[in-house]
Every structure is written in C-alpha cells, then in structure tokens.
Amino acid sequence: MLGLGIESTAHTFSCAVMEKKNSTGKILSDVRRIYRPPDGEGIHPREASRHHIDAGPAVLSECLAKAGIDIGNLDIISYAAGPGLGPCLRVGAVVARSLSSYYKIPIYPVNHALGHIELGKLLTGARNPLVLLVSGGHTMLLAFLNKQWRVFGETLDITLGQLLDQFGRSIGFASPCGRDIESLASNTSEYIQLPYSVKGNDVSFSGLLSAAKSVAKKNKNGACFSLQETAFAMMSEAVERALSFTGKKELMVVGGVAANKRLSEMLQDVCKRHGCKFFVVPLKYAGDCGSQICWTGLLESQAKPGAKMKDTFVTQSWRLDSVVVPY
Ligand code: AMP
Ligand code: MG
C-alpha cells in the first residue's frame, strides 16, 4: 500500500509518501516548509495559511519526486483534519480533497495527535506505552484501552510548547523557541525558584510563565535553565504517578518538545525507578510532519473504507480521547 499524508495543522506544511507492507512502514519521502513569524511574534493563523497555500504545490511535487512515484500510484490520501488552526487545516483538506476527487483515490481524515503517537510507535518499536505527547498544541499523558486513548493528565491552561514559545518570544527569540531556550539553559546550572503547579495529575504553566518572564529581565540563562527544570519536573511527577497507576512498562515521548535532551534525561530517571523502558521519537520526526498523518491513514485503511467527500471535515478542537481507533 502506498499512501500520501498531508500535514497543515499549524506552522508546518508537509507532504510524505509511505509504503506499508503488513505491519511495517517505510518513509519514501517527507518534505516540509515551516512558517516563521517575525521575531517576538506568535503564529498568525491567516499568515500561516497563506504560507501553506504558497508552499503547497512545490512541497507536493518534491515529495512525489523524492518518492519516485506518480499520484496515480497512490492507494490512499490522508490529511490532518484537526486539532489545529482552522485556516491552516483547511489548506491541507482542500489539497487532499482535490487530489482524491480528481484521481479517485480514497481519502482519510486523520487526528493529528494520533499521528504523533502512531509514527512514534512505528519508529521506536514501543508496543503498549504510556504516552507523553508534548508539542505546540498538546500536553497530554495517554494510555490505550478498548480502542481509545485515555487521558491520564493534561495541561489546565497552556501547553508545554506554548510555555516555551511564549517565554522565548518575550526574550526576543523567533517561534518555535524550544531549541534556543535549551541552548541558553545549558550555559548555567543556577536554579532560581519558580512556581511549580501539579494539580492531581494535571499541570498548569501560566504562573510559571509570568514568573520566568520576570526573572529573565535580570538573568536570561538562569531563567531558561530554571524554566526547563521546573516545567520538566512537573511533567516527570505526572508521568511517575501515571506509571504507578497504569503499571505500564513502556514510556514513549512524542511531539516537538520530545527533541529536548534534558526532558529525556529526567524521564529516563523516572523510568529507571519503575523498571520501565524509555522510548523517544527520533528528532527528525518529533515535530509535525506528513509521515505522522500518512502512517495513521495507512493503518486506518486496514480497517475501514475511505471517507465520503461530505465527511471530509476539519475540526479545530478534535480531542484525541473522542477518536475510536478501528485497527
Ligand atoms: P510540534 O507542534 O509537534 O511541531 O512541536 C513544536 C514545539 O516543539 C514548539 O513549541 C517548539 O518550541 C518545541 N521544541 C522544538 N525543539 C525543542 C527543543 N529542543 N526543546 C524544547 N522544545 C522544543
Ligand atoms: Mg504536533
């Protein structure tokens, strides 16, 4: 089976072609263009969607050329139908619908969060993990039971990615800022006390954001270091409790923030204490990309036919725990 996956939920427009044989998947191409807002500013949904419209044709042609296939060879097309920014989601959906109806190829709307998880499982080999999904759009702890991903904890306000990006922009970085913060944090090991807020198994980052911004006025390196230490310790506490509760023997971290080395280090310590295997998605596939959507569409195509055109929706707030996984 050959699939094309289209990702356009937020800053990234990406197309990927993958081949599925039995339960193995091979990425034949994965091409991306990322919208970069001006320094100090966040994503403007309309500007990002314009970026995607401009980038779309070149990304699609390059993706097919790199995979060495024609559109007619594709068995299915999948696109990220949510959650995400409405204007951005619509661009991917329009490209997918046009190709599907013109070339008569079955179409699959895919949940973006499920895409992060399924590609993570394929690339790491994790089988039944507790999942920590930490990205621009998500901060969730999840475990799979009876065909659905169940939430064991999540953010009560902003996501871990938003915490890093909003803080980073306040000190003049361009979004996404996670990597720049990680780099400044590595200049020091001076910890400055910051608000730590875990409520039950949920986390809240907005107090931490305000306090870190105020520390950064005097000490940028110390603020970056302390922000990472505090936020990642909060996540580690929630992970540890969820591991105890679920008894899972695998932890898998996915999403853009999974690229952070310090986060992995802290979670590895937690895993050691619980006799649990640690998996982290490879850096190249941590952030949003077409392969996540493509692989999930290929898995879904084992279990159900493509969607009718009238059902090719986009939903800005499509929660993962409402998705029934049919395969
Ligand atoms: P995604 O929405 O999955 O594409 O993830 C994007 C998020 O990942 C943004 O908030 C980035 O700041 C964050 N990110 C990327 N690289 C790193 C890193 N090395 N450390 C922490 N966060 C990161
Ligand atoms: Mg994402």
Place of tokens 């899972």: 248
Tell me, in angstroms, the distance from the centre of ligand 2 to residue 295's CA.
15
Length of the chain: 327
**Cα–Cα distance between 151 and 136 in angstroms, integer?**
18
Residue identifier of the C-alpha nearest atom 4 of ligand 1: 287
**Atom of ligand 1 at shortest range from CA of 288:** 4
Q: 305: cis peptide before it, omega within 30°?
A: no
Mention every residue, 6+ apart, whose C-beta is less than 8 A from residue 308.
none
Contact 51, 85 (CB under 8 A): no
Ligand in closest contact with the CA of 254: 1
- Whether residue 189 contacts residue 203, with contact meaning beta carbons closer than 8 Å, is answered with no
Please state, as a whole number, how many other Cβ atoms lie within 10 Å of the Cβ of residue 321. 12
Which ligand 1 atom minimizes the distance to the CA of 255?
3
Which residues line ligand 1 at a C-beta cut-off of 6 Å? Answer: 135-137, 161, 164-165, 176-179, 182, 255-257, 259-260, 287-288
Count Cα atoms within 13 angstroms, Cβ side, for 170. Answer: 18
List beta partners, residue 107.
77
Q: What is the SS3 string spanning the chain?
A: CEEEEEECCCCEEEEEEEEEECCEEEEEEEEEEECCCCCCCCCCHHHHHHHHHHHHHHHHHHHHHHHCCCHHHCCEEEEEEECCCHHHHHHHHHHHHHHHHHHCCCEEEEEHHHHHHHHHHHHHCCCCCEEEEECCCCEEEEEEECCEEEEEEEECCCCHHHHHHHHHHHCCCCCCCHHHHHHHHCCCCCCCCCCCCEECCEECCHHHHHHHHHHHCCCHHHHHHHHHHHHHHHHHHHHHHHHHHHCCCEEEEECHHHHCHHHHHHHHHHHHHCCCEEEECCHHHCCCCHHHHHHHHHHHHHHCCCCCHHHCCCCCCCCHHHCCCCC
The reported pLDDT for the residue numbered 99 is 98
Ligand 2 centroid – CA 290 distance (Å): 11
Mutate to test the pocket of ligand 1, among 11, 179, 184 (most ligand atoms within 8 A of CB): 179
What single-letter amino acid sits at 231? A
Low-confidence spans in the chain with pLDDT less than 70: none
Pocket test for ligand 1, best of 14, 209, 257 (most atoms within 8 A of CB): 257
206 Rama sector, left if φ>0, alpha if ψ -120 to 50, beta otherwise: alpha
**Ligand 2 centre and the CA of 313: distance in Å?**
19
* Residues 6+ away with beta carbon under 8 Å from 283: 259
CA of 30 to the centre of ligand 2 (A): 15
pLDDT of residue 39: 82
Q: Residues 232, 264: contact at Cβ < 8 Å? A: no
C-alpha 7/C-alpha 100 separation (Å) is 15
User: pLDDT tens across 218-258, in order?
Assistant: 999 999 999 999 999 999 999 999 999 999 999 999 999 99
Residues around ligand 2, an ion, CB closer than 5 A: 135, 288
Ligand 2 centroid distance, CA of 12 (Å): 9
**What is the reported pTM?**
0.96
**Do 233 and 241 meet the contact criterion of CB atoms below 8 Å apart?**
no
pLDDT at 40: 81
pLDDT in tens, 154-175: 999 999 999 999 999 999 998 8
Contact 96, 79 (CB under 8 A): yes
